[in-house]
Amino acid sequence: MRRWIMHVDMDAFFASVEQFDNPDLMGLPVIVGGQSDRGVVSTCSYEARVYGVHSAMPMMEARRLCPQAVFLPGRMKRYQEVSREIMTIFDSFSPLVEQLSVDEAFLDISGMELLAGSERDIGFKVKRSIKEKTGLTASVGIAPNKFLAKLASDMQKPDGLVVIRAEEAEVMLKPMSVRRIFGIGRSAEKSLLQFGIETIGQIADADLGILRKALGNNAALVKQLAHGLDDRPVVNDYAAKSIGKECTFEQDLHTEDERRHAVLDLCGRVGWRLRRSGVVGYTVTLKVKFASFKIITRSITAEGPVAYDEEIFALAQKLMQSVKWSEGVRLLGVSVAHLEPANAVPVLNFSEDERLGKRNQAVDILKAKFGEDIIKRGF
């Protein structure tokens, strides 16, 4: 039986929900995120992307690039409601659904073509079901593995459907930039360029020894991906789990420094738990309980897996910028969800990841020997 993995990614999810709920926003640049100048963009419509706006961009920069946009604070409960409808649709097409975030998932549809038509037919049916149920569009990628499926879903956005077959994968990958491989960022790209490697095809053809000089321990895995190979399974047992830590304070926190120190400590504790459990995660959630007992949560999904304290804190800081700190804080919590076994992740952040790894490993050794409270990180 041929293996088929589908990756479904909703198009500009938060902004699309806002446009669907308010038709007056259709065709307008819509930017969803923290409204203060220190806030960040959560999602923006494709009309806003024309002006260079993108997710995780500082809101101040987004306002400069597209001052005529409609700026909205976001409605997480509404987005989660729509997300549940979408995930229910996925469950009707496959027993193996790996949810990555509120708007993104892998489905293993191997063998389903015997019941529902070709793999392309199934893709169209999923897209049509989402459109009929929610009024929204999704981009779908279908391929023999996760790497290619995720790559395919991004090739014809928005509202795309791309199927990559095993026999055509390597030829298709050959001219693509190395940045199209999951986990290759600017640092890794720069290292590869020192050896004249710019394309995925050049990675596939490169000597493994050269790749090790540029990419370290990830070289063999990257070379495998460059050939279009990836044997990670779709796993739905980790998707619902999370690892987190929260703290109720004896006295309410009122200053930015107090909150940052508290969140930094929580990120260190969560990172320690992730690494001790041998998992990585994709979605970081910040929980805040104010002095009035009002509770809010904010979440952000990373492009790649996180497990190190610094990575978690960087995302938590972005979430903190989206919170209106109008009163004292009684409780703070940090959690990481959409977990995956660390050894199932093909690529991390290469040289920078190795530096983070060594620092975190040193901290982990101390914590394992003397307990979790033996060391705290500073800014």
Active site residues: 104
Going by C-alpha positions, the residue among 355, 321, 328, 336 that lies closest to residue 59 is 321
Going by C-alpha positions, the residue among 91, 132, 118, 117 that lies closest to residue 8 is 91
Residue whose tokens read 């199209």: 180
Under 8 Å between Cβ of 324 and 299: no
Please work out, in degrees rounded to the nearest 5, the angle formed at the alpha carbon of residue 58 by the alpha carbons of 55 and 64. 105
d(Cα 48, Cα 34) in Å, to the nearest integer? 16
Q: Could you give the angle at which helices 186-193 and 208-215 cross, rounded to 10 degrees?
A: 140
Cα-based distances in Å from 314 to 2, 196, 255, 267, 379: 40, 32, 19, 9, 11
Residue 9 marked as a ligand binder: yes
Going by C-alpha positions, the residue among 279, 300, 342 that lies closest to residue 101 is 300
Buried residues in 32-66 as b, exposed as e (16+ CB within 10 A): bbbbeeebbbbbbbebbbebebebebbbeebbebb
Residue 103 marked as a ligand binder: yes
Say which residues have a Cβ less than 8 Å from residue 217's Cβ, sequence separation at least 6: 354
Helix (H, G, I), strand (E, B) or coil at 198: coil
Going by C-alpha positions, the residue among 332, 258, 253, 329 that lies closest to residue 292 is 329
Instruction: Give 306's strand partners.
Output: 281
Going by C-alpha positions, the residue among 159, 157, 122, 152 that lies closest to residue 137 is 159
Residues at the annotated binding site for Mg(2+)?
9, 103
Residues at the annotated binding site?
9, 103
